[in-house]
Amino acid sequence: MQALIDKAKVLIEALPYMRRFFDKTIVVKYGGAAQKDAALRASFAKDVVLMKHIGVRPVIVHGGGPQIGATLERLGKQSTFVDGLRVTDDETMEVVEMVLGGKVNHEIVELVQKAGGRAIGLTGSDGGMIRTRRRTKDGRDIGRVGAVVGVDPAAIVAVADAGFVPVIAPIGIGDDGLTYNVNADEAAGAIAQALHAEKLILLTDVAGVLDGEGQLVPQLTQERARMLVDQGVVKGGMIPKIQCCTDAVSGGVARAHVIDGRVEHAVLLEIFTDGGVGTLITR
């Protein structure tokens, strides 16, 4: 009997969070271990479906760099890199669209549906959603790599209003009518701003933002976040995350989180507990 009562208590503890997030939009950048490991994939999908069923409006934005790399390799397509950025020629972009907008996107749609939800896959070029400009690296052309200049959220809102979970591939559309590959963190941040989301959650493969000693920083202001980047403590793939989180909170998103996607049910823990599992970035 006590076990049952404890179960009821756990549900009641979630009640204030359910109230707070009812009808609110939560944008989740899905990637890393949570996308690779079968158990983590299933637990992520269940979290999304649970959110949806209690009236939260989840929006998923996904990456897919490793899958693109693997397909290019299988096709025997050599890539050149400029400072770690893949030069995306037209042929490479064709593969990006096939893999990111086709295969990976649909795998996530199917994952959510297997967990009992209903999802619709979109790319950022659908409905003119993610508007981009061509990005260069130190003045050098790197091909179809885009920076986000704006987001028209109409397609996402239509899909969410109709009761589906939108699953978005980070492909943007330029003024030149061409599609561009966009960093998934950057896309998720811009989408969160355009939707006036309550939360932006970036799943990653580390505990969160780590300090110079490798310890988790549970909470960061924009100012301290910028300091960590300037000091070189935050490097590599964590830089676009920090950037998009600080932009998001400046742009009206209440809270932005970098969380440990290696933990089962990381998203639910973030939403329904006080502590959460990672770094919270606030204004």
Applying CB under 6 A, among 206, 225, 266, 280 the residue interacting with ligand ADP is: 206
Residue number closest to ligand ADP, CB atom: 237
Q: Which residues contact 25 (CB under 8 A, 6 or more apart)?
A: 56, 57, 58, 59, 160, 192, 195, 196, 197, 198
Applying CB under 6 A, among 88, 204, 243, 246 the residue interacting with ligand ADP is: 204
Identity of the residue, 218 or 237, whose beta carbon is nearer to Mg ion in the bound complex: 237
CB of 19 to ligand ADP, least distance (A): 31
Residues that bind ligand ADP (rule: CB under 6 A) add up to a total of 14
| Residue pointed to by tokens 């297997």 | 114
Identity of the residue, 160 or 209, whose beta carbon is nearer to ligand ADP in the bound complex: 209
> Residue 132: which H helix or E strand, with range?
strand 130-137
Identity of the residue, 139 or 236, whose beta carbon is nearer to ligand ADP in the bound complex: 236
211-250 footprint of ligand ADP as x/- string (CB under 6 A): ----------------------xxxxxx------------
Identity of the residue, 50 or 100, whose beta carbon is nearer to Mg ion in the bound complex: 100
The amino acid occupying position 202 is L
CA-CA distance, 171 to 122, in Å (whole number)?
A: 9
Residue 194 and residue 152 in contact, taking contact as beta carbons nearer than 8 Å? yes
Q: What SS3 state is found at 33?
A: helix
Identity of the residue, 20 or 219, whose beta carbon is nearer to ligand ADP in the bound complex: 219
| 210 touches ligand ADP (CB under 6 A) | yes
CB of 91 to Mg ion, least distance (A): 23
CA-CA distance, 229 to 237, in Å (whole number)?
A: 12
Applying CB under 6 A, among 32, 143, 170, 172 the residue interacting with ligand ADP is: 32
| 69 touches Mg ion (CB under 5 A) | no
**Residue 273 backbone zone (phi > 0: left; psi -120 to 50: alpha; other: beta):** beta
Residue 240, token pair as written in the block:
């676009």
CA-CA distance, 169 to 172, in Å (whole number)?
A: 9
Query: DSSP H helical segments within the chain, as ranges?
Result: 2-21, 33-36, 38-53, 65-74, 90-96, 105-114, 154-161, 184-194, 222-230, 238-250, 266-272
Residue 73 CB burial class (10 angstroms; 0-12, 13-18, ≥19): exposed
The interface partner of residue 238, options being Mg ion, ligand ADP, none and the CB cut-off 5 to 8 Å by kind, is ligand ADP
Applying CB under 5 A, among 102, 174, 218, 237 the residue interacting with Mg ion is: 237
Q: Which stretch binds Mg ion (CB under 5 A): 16-24, 69-77, 141-149, 229-237?
A: 229-237
Residue 189 and residue 143 in contact, taking contact as beta carbons nearer than 8 Å? no
Q: Which stretch binds ligand ADP (CB under 6 A): 80-88, 109-117, 186-194, 206-214?
A: 206-214
The interface partner of residue 32, options being Mg ion, ligand ADP, none and the CB cut-off 5 to 8 Å by kind, is ligand ADP
End-to-end Cα separation, the chain, in angstroms: 45
Q: Which stretch binds ligand ADP (CB under 6 A): 38-46, 156-164, 173-181, 201-209?
A: 201-209
List residues binding Mg ion (CB under 5 A).
Answer: 237
List residues binding ligand ADP (CB under 6 A).
Answer: 31-32, 63, 204-206, 209-210, 233-238
